[in-house]
Amino acid sequence: MAQVDPKLLSGVNVLVGVSGGIAAYKAAALVSRLAQSGAMVTVAMTESSARFVTPLTFQALSGRPVYTSPWDHIESADPQHIALARNCHVAIVAPCTMDCMAKLASGRCDDVVTLILSAIDRSRTSVLLAPAMNSAMWAQPSNQRNVRQLLEDGFQLIGPDEGWQACRTSGPGRMSEPDALFDAVVAAVKRG
């Protein structure tokens, strides 16, 4: 990982959503790199993601509160999902599991990550998704249908890559590496 300019993303609010897949450990490196570049990083986690990486990890790396429930009111006088959506300059979900993609494609928002994303105006704010799943799951017709719907709805996909997966196989579906995700966030900010 190359050294980061500490002013590169100064003044930029980045929302990082983490859904429940083993690739959640890579999100820690992404959050660290974003914070080192000067970004104000807010992390939102699904309940299942906290089984892989704890909220405390992301709080330590971002220096900010971590959102784990749509029911907790942490920082804002506005409903938290509205304030977070309104204030972010770019959002990324890493990993974005098959379940998270299905929720976003169908408009379900029953966890804090999908709730915040539902309130983002994608015509003004880029929402990047970093798919992460087994290659058989990636190839499922329902998942490919959701991919098409998400792209049509204005989401942007980063990856997935092909490679070794936690299921001890190799193929498409592996989440892109943190450096590639960081570069995608920077590019989205520049497109602004």
Report, as residue numbers or ranges, the catalytic residues.
167
For residue 87, which phi and psi values (nearest 5 degrees)?
A: -90, -10
Asked if the bond preceding 70 is cis, omega within 30° of 0, the reply is no
8 A C-beta contact, residue 6 and residue 36: yes
Give the number of other Cβ atoms within 10 Å of residue 140's Cβ: 13
How far apart, in whole angstroms, are the C-alpha atoms of residue 157 and residue 152? Answer: 11
DSSP secondary structure of 23-49 = THHHHHHHHHHHHHTT-EEEEEE-TTG
Asked if the bond preceding 79 is cis, omega within 30° of 0, the reply is no
